[in-house]
Structure formats: C-alpha cells, structure tokens
Amino acid sequence: MTVRSTVHPTVHTTVRSDERILQSDIFGREQQRAPRADHGWHEEAARRIPVYHRTGVLVVGGGPSGTAAAAAAAQAGADVTLLERYNHLGGLSTGGLVIWIDRMSDWQGQLVIRGFAEELFDRLPADAVAGPPRADWGSRDAAKAAHWAQRTAAYHGVVTWSPTIDPERLKLLSQDLVLERGVKLVYHGWGTEPIVEGGAVKGVIFESKEGRMAIRAEVVVDATGDGDLFARAGAAFDNDIEAADVHHCMNTAWLFGGVDMRRWIAFRAGEPERYAQFMEQGRAACGLFERPFVSWRDDIALFMGPRQTGYSALDVDDLTAVEVRSHHAMRQHLEHYRAHAPGFEQAFMMLSAPQIGVRHARRLKGVDAVLRSRWPEGTPRPDEIGVTPAVSPAFPNISIPYGALLPQALDGLLACGRHISCDKNSHGFMREIPQCWITGQAAGVAAALAAGAGVAPRAVDVARLQRTLQQQGVYLRSAETVAAA
C-alpha cells in the first residue's frame, strides 16, 4: 500500500491499490499521553460468586458474529446462552452505526455470503434496506455502476450486493431470530474472566448490576470482537498496528438527519472541482475531515470517520480520547456541512454511535489462518467453513478454514468475527460484517456439535460441520466432496 501526506500534518491518505477499495484520510493522535501516574495497587480478595446459569454453548458478545453464532448453535440443537454487555444485538452493525454491509456477492454477481446473512435480508422490511436489485448484481453496465458507485454498491465498475440498512430494524430482527430459536439472551452482562480448568475454557465470569456471577458452559464462543476471552485465557494472539493503515483505526460514527443525499450526490459527482475545493476547505477548517456515505434513507447521511490512528482499543484512556475527539468532529462537521455542502443546509445531529468503532484490537493466532499468500489460489481449504469475495476482481473467491476459529492450544473455546486468525491484509475484509456473520455461524455450529458430542472444538468432525452448515444455507465450494462423505 502506498501512503502519501496531504495538507494536514497529521493526515495520511491511503491510495487505492488492489488491496484497498476506498481512499480514506487517517488522522494521527492529537498528542502523546503522559505516562499514567502510579497510584499503587489494591489487593482484591478472593470470593465465592453465584453460578447464574449452566449452558451447552455460551456466546459472549452479540455483534454480527455472536448473533449468528448463537442463532446457528441453537438451530443445530444446542442449549445456548448469549451474553451482551449493552442493550441490543448487532454490535457495530447497529450500535456502532456501521450500517453499510459490505460486499456479499462476488465479482461475477454470485451471492457467496449466505446462510444467516440471507435469512436476515429475507426478513428485513423492504424499507429498511437500500441497495441494487438482484438482477443487477455483477452488472458491468457503465450507467448502473456509476449510479451505485455513489451509493456504496459498485467498485471496479461492477455492481455489488453491499446495501445499507436501518440499524433499529436489524437490532429487532437479530433479537427475534435468537429468541425464536430458544436462545437464553442476557443483556447488560459484561464478560470479564474466562473460567479455565485443565487447559480448557469451562465458562465465563461476568459483571452486571447484580455484581459478579458465573456462567458454566461446555463450549464458549468468544465473539467480543476484541478477543477479550481468549486473551485472558492465555491463547496466543496478534495485535500489530500499522500507522496510516485503516486496519486498526478507531472512531465513533454518527448520523446527520434532515439532509438531501440526492443533491449531495449530484454535487459530488457533477462538480468535481468544486467538490475537491470543498474537501480541502473542510480539512483546513476542521482538521479531521470526512465525507458522508448514503444510508438506507435519502434524508439521513452516514459518517464512518474521521479515522484515527495511534490509539489502542484496549486502553481506557485512548477509548475515551477517541470518543471525545469524534464527538468534537461531529459538531465541527455539522457547522461546515450546513454552511457549504449542497443538501446539508437543514442537517441536524441525529445520533452518535452508542458503540465506539473498533476495527481491530487482537487477532487470534489460530491452528490455521486466512492468508494474503493464498488469495490467488481460489481452491477450497479441506476444512472450508465459508467463502468470502476477494478484495478485487484480480483475485478469485477466498476460502475460510475452520482452523482460523481454533486457538493453537486452548480448548473449550472458538473465536469468530473480527478477531479470527488472519494476517493483517486479509483482516481488511475478514473483519467486515458479512464475513463476521459467516465465521459466527460456523463457530456456532461447531460449538453445538462439540457440546453435543462432548468433544473439544478441535475434534469436531469437519465433514459433519460442513454438512450442517450447508443445511443452514451456507455456501461451501467443497459441496460435492462433503455430500459424498
């Protein structure tokens, strides 16, 4: 990836390459923090805590991956509990206002992100989804591609299935889906410590308004996004960060209401010189400056930046600093957009995301991984549990191996979502919402099979796992071999 500096001293602009679809400004942290004062230690006394619940599969984290995991595990017959620290499901795809669901069709227009994802889109109300009609997925028609390029759904001249959605509808539907399948749903519970016995995770201690309690489980799925549980249980992980790469940036997204996105798009697409001038002025006036994306409605604009680098998603002071900086940026953007952006004259601050936008904190070091070196292969891994579209038409679809969900040594736990085992290039797409649904569904089914058979997740019969995933509608290329098994 090439990186060049632009007007603002702390700004880097990532330049499009085969590995990046979007150009984006990335802003360095405001200032280095002084080292934390040493206030000494407090000795926490050991104490007996109640076992709140016993379950077959415990999923911790109700984001895209955790919701898919819980729904899939219950569908596969397991007794499932889903623990979420906030008051809704969907994680960043709802509470984080990441309401642009990235590509689910490949460059030929074939839908490869299926299963749980397909069920969601079949059931979301029509007015909660904005995206191209199915007949146009994969279209290279110049006029269609130009239209959808302005609406998050065409890249490299190809129309893709990458719609925007209404986050409240997705919250509700996610909740319906897990409750319908009999999942025990626990909101307002923050998983704090894995219970590890004999090298295997046997449950989780969580905090709530009731204090500290335990949930005992046969298998735990870590869907926290940040690897909270596998890290604390001692599993190996990567947390590499790269300055000026979008990969680890954080920010709190927001929505402006009262806008006219059609006028904005006409300005942006029709007046490139004025638009470039507007962006330069915005950077000069605000420092951190971001352009809007469309949402599921033309009167609501989505801002998923400015992206901020140099902060850690595992440091409470850094998380606070990013929130404060993002909230300030929202106010500055409102003033600048109202004064200068066609379509934004009546804009108002509709909502800043209840969940901070963390793209990367830790990634599991798994038995296997999704690797950049394998992108050109195009062949299914023997333990394929899902297929992802490639970053550009230059590569074939990419196989996701079961081994990417399995810790190298730790038993009793599976990982899914944005902290699965992959290298940093592959993380660019493996962290996207559709891929999180895929790895979540696979982790849920694998956990159900492990709990049902009384075996460790690494000992699950892979052919049976693949068959069950196919029965749940997941697209696998090893279909014929699996069917013959």
Ligand X SMILES: Cc1cc2nc3c(=O)[nH]c(=O)nc-3n(C[C@H](O)[C@H](O)[C@H](O)COP(=O)(O)OP(=O)(O)OC[C@H]3O[C@@H](n4cnc5c(N)ncnc54)[C@H](O)[C@@H]3O)c2cc1C
Segment contacting ligand X (CB under 6 A): 3-11, 37-45, 221-229, 362-370? 221-229
Q: Which amino acid is at 88?
A: H
Asked if residue 227 binds ligand X (CB under 6 A), the reply is no
Among 81, 224, 399, 466, binds ligand X (CB under 6 A): 224
DSSP 173-234: HHHHHHHHTT-EEE-S-EEEEEEEETTEEEEEEEEETTEEEEEEEEEEEE-SSS-HHHHHTT
DSSP H or E segment with residue 466 = helix 462-471
x-or-dash string of contact with ligand X, 138-177, rule CB under 6 A: ----------------------------------------
Segment contacting ligand X (CB under 6 A): 56-64, 169-177, 262-270, 401-409? 56-64
Asked if residue 60 binds ligand X (CB under 6 A), the reply is yes
Asked if residue 191 binds ligand X (CB under 6 A), the reply is yes
Asked if residue 417 binds ligand X (CB under 6 A), the reply is yes
Give me the residue whose beta carbon is nearest to ligand X: 63
The pair of three-digit structure tokens given for residue 363, joined into one six-digit string: 């990634």
User: Residue 305: which of 7, 14, 51 has the closest Cα?
Assistant: 14
Phi-psi category of 258—alpha, beta or left, where left has phi over 0 and alpha has psi -120 to 50?
left
Asked if residue 357 binds ligand X (CB under 6 A), the reply is yes
Among 151, 359, 362, 427, binds ligand X (CB under 6 A): 359
Among 215, 244, 253, 415, binds ligand X (CB under 6 A): 253
Asked if residue 259 binds ligand X (CB under 6 A), the reply is no
Segment contacting ligand X (CB under 6 A): 81-89, 310-318, 394-402, 455-463? 81-89
Minimum distance, C-beta of residue 46 to ligand X, in the bound complex (Å): 21
Specify whether the CB–CB gap between 472 and 115 falls below 8 A.
yes
Q: What part of residues 435-454 is at the interface with ligand X (CB under 6 A)?
A: 436
Phi-psi category of 355—alpha, beta or left, where left has phi over 0 and alpha has psi -120 to 50?
beta
Asked if residue 91 binds ligand X (CB under 6 A), the reply is yes
Largest Cα span, the chain? 67
Specify whether the CB–CB gap between 112 and 388 falls below 8 A.
yes
As a whole number of angstroms, the distance between CA 415 and CA 426 comes to: 16
Among 21, 57, 73, 92, binds ligand X (CB under 6 A): 92
Q: Which residues contact 216 (CB under 8 A, 6 or more apart)?
A: 51, 53, 54, 55, 195, 202, 203
Q: Which is nearer to ligand X, 84 or 383 (CB)?
A: 84
The 3-state DSSP class for residue 241 equals: coil
Asked if residue 187 binds ligand X (CB under 6 A), the reply is no
Minimum distance, C-beta of residue 323 to ligand X, in the bound complex (Å): 13
As a whole number of angstroms, the distance between CA 427 and CA 248 comes to: 10
Residues of this chain that interact with ligand X (CB under 6 A) are 60-66, 83-86, 91-93, 96, 98, 100-102, 190-191, 223-226, 228, 251, 253, 304, 357-359, 417-418, 431-433, 436
